[in-house]
Chain A
Amino acid sequence: ETGVTQTPRHLVMGMTNKKSLKCEQHLGHNAMYWYKQSAKKPLELMFVYNFKEQTENNSVPSRFSPECPNSSHLFLHLHTLQPEDSALYLCASSPPDRGNQPQHFGDGTRLSIL
C-alpha cells in the first residue's frame, strides 16, 4: 500500500479513443503530480497541482488534459494519443511545504497506444 492509488493499472487504447487515468491519495498532501516514464529515458514531469491549482505544465501536448477537483484526486484525460505516448504514467503527491518534491508515488498506469 503506497498511499497513492492509480487506476487502471493497465490500459490499451486506440489513437482515436478517449480515456482517463485516475489518481487518489489520502495522505493529507496538497501537491499532486503527473509523470511519464518511458524506456531508457528519465522520468518526465508533466503537471503539478498545488491546492487544486495547476502550478506547472511542462509543455505537455494538449491531447493530455489534467483535472484536479480536490487535493485528494487527480485525473489525466487522454484524447487522440500517438504511439509514442505509450509509457508508464505515474502519479505522486507531497506535503505543501516540500518545494515541489514528490514524496509518494503510485504504482502507475501502463498505457499502450495501438
Chain B
Amino acid sequence: KNQVEQSPQSLIILEGKNCTLQCNYTVSPFSNLRWYKQDTGRGPVSLTIMTFSENTKSNGRYTATLDADTKQSSLHITASQLSDSASYICVVSRNAGNNRKLIWGLGTSLAVNP
C-alpha cells in the first residue's frame, strides 16, 4: 500500500534550537519527494524537491535528506525562528503512466516558542 508517514505528529522547540522532522514512505515506483510548509490559514508552500538520485537539498535554513534505499527523508531546520511555526508536509510522487500520483503525509505541526 502506498503510504507516507510523518513523525513526530507535533513538536515544540525553543527559538534558536535545531530540529529534525521525519518522513517514511512505502510508495512505489518512486518519482520524487517534496517538503511543503503550511502556515496557519495559508496554502502549502514548496520548500524542497528531491529525485531518486539526490540525497540532500537545502533551502536557506531548511535541509532535506533522502535515503531512497530505506525510503526515508528528513527535514532539518537550523537556528529556528518564530516564523518557522507551521505544519510541514511530506509528499511523495508515484509514477503512474503519463501522470504522477501524489501521496500526502499528515504533516508535523511545529511550534517555535520564544
Contacts and interface: CB of A to CB of B under 8 A. Distances in A.
Contact of A90 (B4, B31, B43, B106): B43
User: Binding site of B, secondary structure by majority: helix, strand, loop or mixed?
Assistant: strand
Interface stretch (A13-21, A59-67, A76-84, A95-103): A95-103
B106 A108 contact: no
A43 B6 CA distance: 14
A107 B39 CA distance: 10
A74 B93 CA distance: 24
A42 B43 contact: no
A80 B18 CA distance: 47
Contact of B98 (A2, A4, A43, A99): A99
Contacts of A106: 43
Interface residues of A, number: 21
Contacts of A40: 106
A45 interface: yes
A43 B43 CA distance: 11
- Contact size class for B? 20 to 34
User: Binding site of A, secondary structure by majority: helix, strand, loop or mixed?
Assistant: loop
A5 to B, nearest CB: 11
Contacts of B103: 42
B99 A107 contact: no
Contact of A43 (B31, B100, B104): B104
- What 9 pairs between A and B have smallest CB-CB spacing? A105-B43, A42-B104, A99-B100, A100-B99, A43-B104, A107-B43, A107-B42, A105-B44, A106-B43
Given A42-B105, A55-B99, A105-B43, 12 more contacts: A2-B43, A2-B45, A42-B104, A43-B44, A45-B102, A90-B43, A99-B98, A100-B99, A100-B102, A101-B102, A105-B44, A107-B43
11 contacts: A4-B43, A42-B103, A43-B104, A90-B43, A99-B98, A99-B99, A100-B99, A101-B32, A101-B34, A101-B102, A107-B43
